[in-house]
Amino acid sequence: MRIKKKIRNSVNIISKKLFTNKILNFFNINTVFLNYHRVINNYDFINFLRPNDDLIVTTKVFEEQIKYLSENFNVISINDIHSKNIKDRKIVLTFDDGYLDNYINALPILEKYNCPAILYIATSYLDNIEYPWWSKVWEILLNTKNIRVDGKKFEIDKNEEKIRLYGYLCKILISQKKKIQHEYIKNIISENNISLSFHKKEFLTTENLKSLGNHKLIEIGCHTHNHENLKNLNENEINYEISKSLNILEKILSKKVKHFSIPYGVKKTFTRETINLISKYNFQTIVTTEHGIFNKKNCNQIPRIGIGNLDVKDRLNSKAIGLDSLINKILRR
């Protein structure tokens, strides 16, 4: 009886695998772009409350993920996506925004497993000169128990309440220009008599970036200067965001920056015209965070799949083979 069950299970697994392979071949899914943001140490992850768990992985989980990917896939450099000498089931690792932990925590693990990656830098955060609005909002909520926002009072004693309000504020602020985001946060601070200095140093320094730029496993890409929602900007403003960032990066790195990542990257943050405008800079690739399949003929709108702390084993595999993104695209999730 037990042997029969084992055989049935094995047949099940094999047929599932064959079926999956057929789908992957049919849609010609051979390269998948994965997207990370932060890789924080295990102590911080356990001890600090935070939203957006899907944008954060611990070093422990990150190592497990990179080990699995390096053993089961071909983790390649973004510069090799057209190479014919590399076998299928290719993975491109990408990191957005330019967090310091990419250098401190992620790089040693990438080195250990010899995995290339690209880091997209939003240059206004470099050297911690600017502080992103999402970090300010979270820090405000973390340090308050009651808060008045838009004339409404919120009790945010519990973590779930803070996360819920954070989600609500993010939805409002992501669609605003930087100036309005700044005003909105300033109003919350003054209306609630909050005194916060926003002193955390979470981003790369120029020195870190220089050393990453010289590293054989690391490619540096552009993520604009101010990380604005490009859908809100006119042509001149978009040109400013790209050229300012390119100038800073190319001066530090003393080489050409060939790749671009759209801030936020979801559909509500860019249009066909935005892509056309960015394309004028002749980037070799432009990545989004939309779901879909990477088609080598269209390197101007490459979909990527976000990887979080829960993405291990089967979950990671389903994302890494591209099936997850394809299904989400079909379901328009």
The contact set with Zn ion (CB under 5 A) reads 96-97
DSSP 210-265: HHHHT-TTEEEEE--SS---GGG--HHHHHHHHHHHHHHHHHHHSS---EEE-SS-
The DSSP letter of residue 83 is: -
Q: Residue for token digits 């001890």?
A: 47
Of 252 and 287, nearer to Zn ion (C-beta) is 287
Structure tokens at 72: 């089961």
In angstroms, what is the minimal distance from the CB of 227 to Zn ion?
A: 6
In angstroms, what is the minimal distance from the CB of 38 to Zn ion?
A: 11
Q: How many of the other CB atoms lie within 10 Å of CB of 207?
A: 11
In angstroms, what is the minimal distance from the CB of 304 to Zn ion?
A: 11
Segment holding 176, helix H or strand E = none
Of 30 and 226, nearer to Zn ion (C-beta) is 226
Of 96 and 324, nearer to Zn ion (C-beta) is 96
In angstroms, what is the minimal distance from the CB of 17 to Zn ion?
A: 35
Segment holding 57, helix H or strand E = strand 56-58
In angstroms, what is the minimal distance from the CB of 171 to Zn ion?
A: 16
In angstroms, what is the minimal distance from the CB of 263 to Zn ion?
A: 5
Q: Which residue's beta carbon is nearest to the bound Zn ion?
A: 96
Structure tokens at 206: 């120029």
In angstroms, what is the minimal distance from the CB of 120 to Zn ion?
A: 7
Report d(CA 329, CA 331) in Å as an integer: 5
Of 35 and 77, nearer to Zn ion (C-beta) is 35
The torsion defined by the Cα of 139, 60, 46 and 196, in degrees rounded to 10, comes to -20
In angstroms, what is the minimal distance from the CB of 265 to Zn ion?
A: 7
CA R_g for the chain: 21
Of 73 and 138, nearer to Zn ion (C-beta) is 138
In angstroms, what is the minimal distance from the CB of 168 to Zn ion?
A: 20
Of 29 and 278, nearer to Zn ion (C-beta) is 278
Q: Please give the angle made by the CA atoms of 137, 142 and 146, to the nearest 5 degrees.
A: 95
Of 289 and 325, nearer to Zn ion (C-beta) is 289
Of 39 and 149, nearer to Zn ion (C-beta) is 39
Report d(CA 329, CA 327) in Å as an integer: 5
* Exposure of 310 in the CB half-sphere (CA atoms within 13 A): 4
Amino acid letter, residue 306: G
Per the CB < 8 A criterion, the answer to whether 252 and 211 are in contact is no
Per the CB < 8 A criterion, the answer to whether 204 and 121 are in contact is yes
Report d(CA 92, CA 35) in Å as an integer: 9
Of 253 and 266, nearer to Zn ion (C-beta) is 266
Structure tokens at 122: 């939003």
